[in-house]
Every structure is written in C-alpha cells, then in structure tokens.
Amino acid sequence: MTLELPGGQPLVAIVTMESVRQLGIVEGGEAIALIKAPWVMVMTEDSGIRLSARNCLKGTVKTVQDGAVNSEVVIALGGDSEIKAMITRKAVNELGVHVGAEATAVVKASHVVLGVSS
C-alpha cells in the first residue's frame, strides 16, 4: 500500500488485506503512518547505493537533540511531514548531521504501521 505524504513523497507500507478491511482503508482515504524512531536509518549523501528498503524519504534536518549515547534527529520532508530517527551520536558526527543539512530517512515498508481516525 502506498500513501502520499503532505509534501508529495510516497510512503510504502506492507499491511495485510485483513488489516485494510478492518481499518476501512480505501483509495483516496486518509490514514496515519507510525514509525518507531529506532527503525529509521539516516543517510546524508547520495552515494549511488541501491537499497532494499522501499522508503527513502528526502528532506532537511530540522533538529538534532543529543542524549548520552543517542541523538534524536528530526527530518522535515515537506508540507507538514517530518520523521524522527534515533541514531548514535557517533553516527551524527560521522555523517555530518546538522540543522539545515540534506538527509534521507530510510525505512523498510514492513516497519510502517498504519492507523485511521475513528
């Protein structure tokens, strides 16, 4: 199943037909996509590498909040869409992740959970 994010980028989710039926998801309808931050990988350069992950969402780093070991990175995707990643502080430094940097959030389709408003 493919959702179009407010910024226009597609987000692919793998869901069962039973889930689609139970949630009442229909083409053109609205759905909410949930992704746990540790499931989001971050890339900062287009290295020409092809990935098996279906979702490679391009955006700009909005915030970086450092913790003791990990950092929370928020990537603005356009429109009102943003995605949060939890990566190590070492990765933040090695990748050059900083506010304003271009970045790509990489998410496997099987890590996207769909929901609908009731």
Ordered by start, the domain boundaries in the chain are: 2-115
The mean of the pLDDT values for the chain is 94
Which amino acid, one-letter code, is at 10? P
Q: Which helix (H) or strand (E) holds 94?
A: helix 89-95
pLDDT of residue 47: 67
Q: Which helix (H) or strand (E) holds 18?
A: helix 17-23
97 close to 84: Cβ distance less than 8 angstroms: no
What is the tens place of the pLDDT at every residue in 39-73?
999 999 876 788 899 999 999 999 999 999 999 99
40 close to 83: Cβ distance less than 8 angstroms: yes
**pTM, rounded to two decimals:** 0.92
Class of the CATH domain delimited by 2-115 = mainly beta
